Amino acid sequence: MSIRYDGQVAIVTGAGNGLGKSHALALAARGAKVVVNDLGGAVDGTGGSVTAAQQVVQEIEAAGGEAMANGANVTNLAEVEAMVKDAMDKWGRVDILVNNAGILRDKSFAKVSIDDFKLVVDVHLMGSVNCTKAVWPIMQEQNYGRVVMTTSSSGMYGNFGQTNYGAAKMAVVGFMNTLVIEGKKHNIHVNALSPTAGTRMLEGLIPPDVLELMSVESVTAGLLTLCDSEAPNRTILCAGAGGYATTQIFETDGIYLAPEDQSPENVRAQMDKVMDRAGEKKITAGFEQTNKFVAKAMQHFGIEMPKT
């Protein structure tokens, strides 16, 4: 099996450096035409220059690939729409979107300003929303699309000093979950990558010898599996230092309390049963939780489930 993207067009945001650059180079090396998007700012989002994106394009072209540079700010929907239009005008389609652009403004919650909190959420969450919104009707019309969000262990598990970053990174998982449902009939698969790599975001935080193990290329190997025609759907793929795993959200079976017993004291008294993982299930849509709870209540009252 060989994973290829011949004849396909990919947009990679934040592709001037680090993971995004690695993603763009690898997609191009396997046949994709690539829009290399990068605002060209610092890690905290300040500044801007299209130079970094242009340099990546030069590398792709030197290797025999096709690419175009774009400096759109992903938080600006008009700029994002113009970027997508440029891609359509040049190549006529968009098959892959990798939402990779991001910034850091780390501080403990007590010290972080609301403006810094909002900006980080705006770049990671709304940047992903804007880019996905711009390509979604194209992918629907094509009856094909592959969208990848970039989440983080900081969002799924927490990390000191990253309430803003963590909130945004968990939010894109929720965004993904509903897009999966809405995109299914149009053959649009939506997944998330949770990377850990030795990028400039980690400089000064991790010893140099450890950073060497955390290559961006090892993460990109995982990313590529989320972009082709055989890509999974609704998968959170974790990748770093040559390790690959998935994060999945499960819900315990839980308990049922009759109306006369529905008090906080009784919930607390049975918390061990509430948390018991025996019989836990992977929930793939919000109504499944509702159906489970309603079924327990109907069973208690002897109400038969309606036949469908």
Contact 131, 97 (CB under 8 A): yes
Contact 169, 124 (CB under 8 A): yes
| CB contact set of 17 (below 8 Å; sequence gap of 6+) | 38, 52, 199, 200
How large a percentage of the chain has pLDDT more than 90? 87
- Looking at 19-23, 64-68, 220-224, 295-299, which range is the least confident one? 295-299
Contact 53, 41 (CB under 8 A): no
Task: Please give the pLDDT value at position 211.
Answer: 74
Task: Please give the pLDDT value at position 297.
Answer: 94
Compute φ and ψ for 255, nearest 5 degrees. -130, 170
Mean pLDDT of the chain: 94
Q: How many CA atoms lie less than 13 Å away from 65 in the CB half-sphere? A: 27
Active-site residue, 244 included: no
Compute φ and ψ for 194, nearest 5 degrees. -110, 95
Confidence bin at 260 (pLDDT 50/70/90): very high
Contact 8, 87 (CB under 8 A): no
Sign of CA dihedral 150, 151, 154, 155: positive
Alpha-carbon gap, residue 107 to 213, rounded angstroms: 27
Task: Please give the pLDDT value at position 47.
Answer: 57
Residue 48 has pLDDT above 70, yes or no: no
Alpha-carbon gap, residue 181 to 264, rounded angstroms: 35
Compute φ and ψ for 36, nearest 5 degrees. -95, 100
Work out the number of other CB atoms within 10 angstroms of the CB of residue 232.
Answer: 11
Confidence bin at 7 (pLDDT 50/70/90): very high
Contact 198, 214 (CB under 8 A): yes
Q: What is the pTM of this model?
A: 0.94
pLDDT digits (tens, 9 = 90+) for 140-171: 999 999 999 999 999 999 999 999 999 999 99
- Looking at 37-51, 69-83, 124-138, 152-166, which range is the least confident one? 37-51
Composition of the chain by helix, strand, coil, percent to 5: 45, 15, 40
pLDDT digits (tens, 9 = 90+) for 107-139: 999 999 999 999 999 999 999 999 999 999 999
- Catalytic residue (one of 157, 165, 244, 256): 165
Task: Please give the pLDDT value at position 73.
Answer: 96
Task: Please give the pLDDT value at position 106.
Answer: 95
Task: Please give the pLDDT value at position 305.
Answer: 73
